[in-house]
């Protein structure tokens, strides 16, 4: 049973080429997979594309008007081109061997309506903006639908004309002789570039492309917890396609700026606090800036250089692939002990007294024990025997 191609596009049987094209363009914008991910819409998009392919080809449309189906599979034995009674003809065999380039059946004209390309823009953000999230307006320069021809490419009041070289098929054929006999090959028509029609009076504003360059503002919401290199996708905000095709997507890539205090490792933050030798020995409390405000950092007496104190939950938000925040990372505080230099004589005397009180006049190599039996002590004992 022949399919209702006119009903698929929602046009009458006496519809002209422009009406058919406008109906297809309208449906393609609604059903294209880049715009409508619903599987049912994708199947409908394929049906609409097939209907436009048939009705935009004069020969295929003539078959439809006679009650046939030019896109049928030839299941009835003895159908035209089915010389072998297997449900397919010699054209199908030529398609299999020559990739659709053989036989008299062409692929038909290609549509001027094509999906648009994706666009990428980079957005610099501070560490605090990455932590809290931000909403900003971006100015992007992309291709938009031509306001004068609304994507058709023709000057107002005009329409494309059928190519007089390929008669609207979009292909031209050539015959070559070989030891197998005559081989018919098809290639895109050089006159209309495979479209089957020529825009004789192109739109003055877009030059027949159906789109123009324009600078426009786009609002984007960056979620909390993003990191350098992450991208936020804005569906349908990219380049409008040739012929007014559906727009691609706009991707906003985060460029995280260096912070003066913190370095980042995923959701964890790291910073270094330099303490005087006396503060490390005696212990102290000092104010520490964090992303949530100032926290008190308590340093225990006897803290060694290289020690790390962890402030739980004071790091960056943990952004999951679902776009939701699941807790926070930690803040790692690395302690660096500053050894004093340029001591005065009184300071030197005080340190010598402290060293004498602690029995540290003669330092020992690392590995010595608390009983005075370090490496130097053991060497001294061995030579004294």
pLDDT tens sequence across 27-62 = 887 887 666 777 787 788 888 888 888 898 888 888
75 pLDDT higher than 50: no
Q: Considering the entire predicted model, what is its pTM?
A: 0.60
- Which stretch of DSSP H or E encloses residue 61? helix 58-65
Lowest mean pLDDT among 187-201, 278-292, 365-379: 365-379
What is the pLDDT, as a whole number, of residue 21? 86
User: What's the mean pLDDT in 238-249?
Assistant: 91
Tally helices (H) and strands (E) across the chain: 9, 17
Residue 244 CB neighbour total at 10 angstroms: 26
382 falls in which pLDDT band (50, 70, 90)?
very low
pLDDT > 70: percent of the chain: 82
What is the pLDDT, as a whole number, of residue 283? 93
364 falls in which pLDDT band (50, 70, 90)?
low
Give binding residues for Zn(2+) as ranges: 146, 149, 163, 166, 189, 192, 203, 206
Give the tens place of pLDDT for each residue, 218-240. 999 999 999 999 999 999 999 99
132 pLDDT higher than 90: yes
Q: What is the Cα–Cα distance from 2 to 13, expressed in whole angstroms?
A: 14
Nearest CA to 151 out of 115, 175, 187 is that of: 115
* Pair of tokens at residue 253: 């890539």
273 falls in which pLDDT band (50, 70, 90)?
very high
In the predicted model, what is the mean pLDDT of the chain?
82
Give binding residues as ranges: 146, 149, 163, 166, 189, 192, 203, 206
Radius of gyration of the chain (CA): 38
81 falls in which pLDDT band (50, 70, 90)?
very low
Residue 111 CB neighbour total at 10 angstroms: 21
> For residues 144 and 226, is the Cβ–Cβ distance under 8 A?
no
List of domains in the chain = 5-72 (1.10.287.110), 119-256 (2.10.230.10), 263-338 (2.60.260.20), 345-384 (no CATH)
What is the pLDDT, as a whole number, of residue 102? 41
Categorise residue 194: left if φ over 0, alpha if ψ from -120 to 50, beta otherwise. Answer: left
Place of tokens 């290199």: 229
DSSP 75-110: -STT-TT-TTSSS--HHHHHHHHHTT-SSS----PP
Give the tens place of pLDDT for each residue, 9-19. 899 888 888 88
What is the pLDDT, as a whole number, of residue 34? 64
Helices 39-55 and 58-65: crossing angle, nearest 10°? Answer: 100
Give the tens place of pLDDT for each residue, 153-191. 999 999 999 998 888 888 888 777 766 667 777 888 888
- Which stretch of DSSP H or E encloses residue 302? none
Q: Which of 192-196, 256-260, 318-322 has the highest mean pLDDT?
A: 256-260
- DSSP letter at 205 equals T
Q: Can you point out the beta strands (E) in the chain?
A: 119-125, 134-145, 161-162, 171-178, 181-188, 197-198, 211-222, 231-234, 250-256, 263-265, 268-276, 284-290, 293-299, 308-311, 317-319, 325-328, 331-338
């Amino acid at each position: 049973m022949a399919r209702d191609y006119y009903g698929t596009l929602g046009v009458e049987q006496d519809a002209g080429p422009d009406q058919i094209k406008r109906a297809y363009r309208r449906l393609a914008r609604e059903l294209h997979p880049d715009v409508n991910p619903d599987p049912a819409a994708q199947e409908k998009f394929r049906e609409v594309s097939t209907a436009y392919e048939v009705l935009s080809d004069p020969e295929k449309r003539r078959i439809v008007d006679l009650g046939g189906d030019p896109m049928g599979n030839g299941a009835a034995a003895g159908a035209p081109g089915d010389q072998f009674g297997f449900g397919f003809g010699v054209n199908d065999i030529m398609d299999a061997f020559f990739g659709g380039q053989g036989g008299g059946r062409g692929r038909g004209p290609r549509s001027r309506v094509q999906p648009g390309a994706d666009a990428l823009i980079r957005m610099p953000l501070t560490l605090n903006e990455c932590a809290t999230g931000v909403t900003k307006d971006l100015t992007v320069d992309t291709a938009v639908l031509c306001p004068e021809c609304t994507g058709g490419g023709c000057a107002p009041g005009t329409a494309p004309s059928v190519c007089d070289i390929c008669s609207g098929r979009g292909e031209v054929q050539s015959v070559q002789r070989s030891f197998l006999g005559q081989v018919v090959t098809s290639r895109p028509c050089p006159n209309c570039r495979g479209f089957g029609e020529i825009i004789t009076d192109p739109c003055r504003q877009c030059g027949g492309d159906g789109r123009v360059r324009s600078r426009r503002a786009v609002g984007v919401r960056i979620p909390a917890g993003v990191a350098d290199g992450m991208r936020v996708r804005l569906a349908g905000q990219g380049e409008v396609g040739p012929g007014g095709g559906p727009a691609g997507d706009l991707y906003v890539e985060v460029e995280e700026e260096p912070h003066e205090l913190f370095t980042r490792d995923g959701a964890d933050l790291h910073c270094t606090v330099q303490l005087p030798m006396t503060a490390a020995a005696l212990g102290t409390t000092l104010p520490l800036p964090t992303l949530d405000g100032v926290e008190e950092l308590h340093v225990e007496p006897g803290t060694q250089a290289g020690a790390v104190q962890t402030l739980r939950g004071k790091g960056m938000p943990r952004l999951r692939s679902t776009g939701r925040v699941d807790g926070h990372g930690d803040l790692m505080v690395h302690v660096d002990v500053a050894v004093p230099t340029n001591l005065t004589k009184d300071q030197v005397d005080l340190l010598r007294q402290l060293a004498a009180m602690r029995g540290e006049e003669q330092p020992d190599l690392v590995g010595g024990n608390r009983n005075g039996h370090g490496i130097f002590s053991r060497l001294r004992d061995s030579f004294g025997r």
